[in-house]
Amino acid sequence: MTNSNPANQDSAISNQPTFKLLIAHPAHFLSLGFGSGLAKKAPGTFGTLVGMPIFWLLSRYTFHTQLIVITFLFLIGIYCCAKTGKALGVADHGAIVWDEIVAIMLVLAFTPLHWFAWLIAFGLFRLFDIWKPFPIEQFDAKLKNGFGVMFDDLLAAIYAIAAFKVLLWIYLGVKVHA
């Protein structure tokens, strides 16, 4: 996740997570995206990429089951992200990528199981996660806890799903289902 507050970015730079923190607690292992959040550049992008094969494993189940699992992972993320944020001294540290992992899974649940569709979904999610259009930026600035970390990416996922459905409707003439 990208921090929009420069003060948080300065703190994040001075308190980089390590492999030792990653393996210190299961919550850190999850919130740091199995290690993808330790990437020096673009940890949110790496976290998003980790979420894609995880969803692919989930894609064989019914849509209803997918949403139940994603909801469960979201709820786990509230705890894990809060714990890791506290350990790092920054509630929404850029290395915390569980929010991207869960959010891209939600986007993919609404995306056809095709590589090109997934590529577009990936791009749309990263666009909205980084750009943070209204009201995402406002929630990101106000909610500084585990729920806040997860919630702004949930909103970015909803924007990405809506944009993807509009693109399908405009360019492909595909009937759009909710």
- Which two three-digit tokens encode residue 173? 């003439």
DSSP result, 64-95:
HHHHHHHHHHHHHHHHHHHHHHHHHT-TT-TT
What per-residue confidence (pLDDT) applies to 134? Answer: 83
Residues 6+ apart with CB under 8 A from 115: none
| Listed range (117-131, 139-153, 156-170) with the worst mean pLDDT | 139-153
pTM of the shown model: 0.86
Residue located via tokens 């009201």 = 135
Distance CA 143, CA 84 (A): 16
The pair of structure tokens assigned to 119 is 């590529």
- Is the CB of residue 111 less than 8 Å from the CB of residue 163? no
End-to-end CA distance of the chain: 27
Alpha-carbon span 4 to 148, nearest angstrom: 13
Integer Cα distance of 44 and 33 in angstroms: 9
Of 76, 88, 106, the residue nearest 43 (C-alpha): 88
Say what the pLDDT of residue 91 is: 85
Q: What pLDDT sits at residue 4?
A: 46
Q: Are 167 and 112 in contact (CB under 8 A)?
A: no
Backbone phi, then psi, for 24, in 5-degree steps?
-70, -25
Lookup result for tokens 């209803």: 64
Q: What is the dihedral of CA 90, 91, 95, 101, to 10 degrees?
A: 180
- Report pLDDT for 177: 56
Report pLDDT digits (tens) over 67-124: 999 999 999 999 999 999 999 998 889 999 999 999 999 999 999 999 999 999 999 9
Domain definitions of the chain by residue range: 6-172
